[in-house]
Structure 1
C-alpha cells in the first residue's frame, strides 16, 4: 500500500464538516482538524500511486468547503 498525508486548507469555518465528510471516505485512515497554515490533515492509503491520486482528486477534493490540498506521499528511507 502507498500511504500519504494530505494537508487541506478549508474555507473559514468549514474544517469540522470537512473532517467529518473525509473520515467516511474509503481509503482514508484518519482525518483530524488542526491549527496552523492547514485546517485538516488526512492520512490515506491506496494500492498504487495512481489509486491514491484518484482518491485525492475524485473524492477528497470534491468535499464541499475545501480550498486547497497538498499531498505528501510517505517514503521509506
Structure 2
C-alpha cells in the first residue's frame, strides 16, 4: 500500500501503522509517496473489510493506493 501523508507526518504515520494488526511492515520513504506499507490477511475479505480501512483511518494520511500482489504470494 502506498500512502501520502500531511507534510512532515510520514515518520509518525509509519510508526503508528506498524502497530496495527495486519501490517507486516511500514517504512517512510522519499518520492511521490511518503510511506510504503506491506499488509496481509488470511482472506481477501478480511483485508478489504478490516485491514485496509484500519490503515486508512490513521490520522495524517491524505491518500492511499492499494497494490495487491499479482502472483498471489502469501503475505
**TM-score, normalization by structure 1:** 0.87
Alignment partners' CA distance in 2, 1:27 and 1:9: 19
CA displacement, residues 2-57 of structure 1 (integer Å, 9 cap, x when unaligned): xxxx0000010110110000000011110000010000000010111121112111
Paired residue for 1:56? 52
| Residue ranges of structure 1 left out of the alignment (5+ in a row) | 1-5
Q: Which of the two has greater strand per residue?
A: 1
Bigger relative CO (Cα 8 Å, ≥ 6 apart): 1
Cα drift, residue 70 of structure 1: 0.3
- Segments of 4+ moved more than 3 angstroms: none
The number of residues matched between the two structures is: 71
**TM-score, normalization by structure 2:** 0.89
Equivalent of 2:9 in 14, 26, 34: 14
| Residue ranges of structure 2 left out of the alignment (5+ in a row) | none
